[in-house]
Amino acid sequence: AQKITQTQPGMFVQEKEAVTLDCTYDTSDQSYGLFWYKQPSSGEMIFLIYQGSYDEQNATEGRYSLNFQKARKSANLVISASQLGDSAMYFCAMREPYNAGNMLTFGGGTRLMVKP
């Protein structure tokens, strides 16, 4: 079974609108961390936002927020007021310190395209 599932291989969003990128995960760890990274066409992986399994509040970083629903094992990324520069691949990843050590397990990614 996939540990991290991103069901949207590609998405379009109109500039200035909000968009939600889906991520579901599977773990038996009680303590785990969820991360989102952005990969623009230049190739580098940019850390966006983190959510810990014990965090009671949804994480927010500027225009990025994480809709964390623990019971449903989902950690969707919400980008508000999309900008042309948001066009990129977005990866959801999980760290399970007890099950898998320090490594990150990644989903397949979602390619977001922002239309002007």
The SS3 call for residue 84 is helix
Distance from C-alpha of 66 to C-alpha of 53, rounded to nearest angstrom:
12
Contact between 64 and other proteins by CB under 8 A: the answer reads no
Handedness of CA 111, 112, 115, 116 (dihedral sign): negative
User: Based on CB atoms, which residue is closest to other proteins, 20 or 29?
Assistant: 29
Handedness of CA 83, 85, 87, 92 (dihedral sign): negative
Q: How far is the CB of 30 from other proteins (least distance, A)?
A: 10
Distance from C-alpha of 100 to C-alpha of 86, rounded to nearest angstrom:
31
Distance from C-alpha of 52 to C-alpha of 33, rounded to nearest angstrom:
5
Options 15-23, 64-72, 77-85, 91-99: segment touching other proteins (CB under 8 A): 91-99
User: Based on CB atoms, which residue is closest to other proteins, 10 or 52?
Assistant: 52
Options 10-18, 35-43, 64-72, 80-88: segment touching other proteins (CB under 8 A): 35-43
Q: Strand 33-39 relative to strand 110-115: parallel, antiparallel, unpaired?
A: unpaired
Q: How far is the CB of 87 from other proteins (least distance, A)?
A: 18
Contact between 116 and other proteins by CB under 8 A: the answer reads no
Chain residues binding other proteins by CB under 8 A are 4, 31-33, 35, 37, 42-47, 50, 52-53, 91, 93, 95-97, 101-109
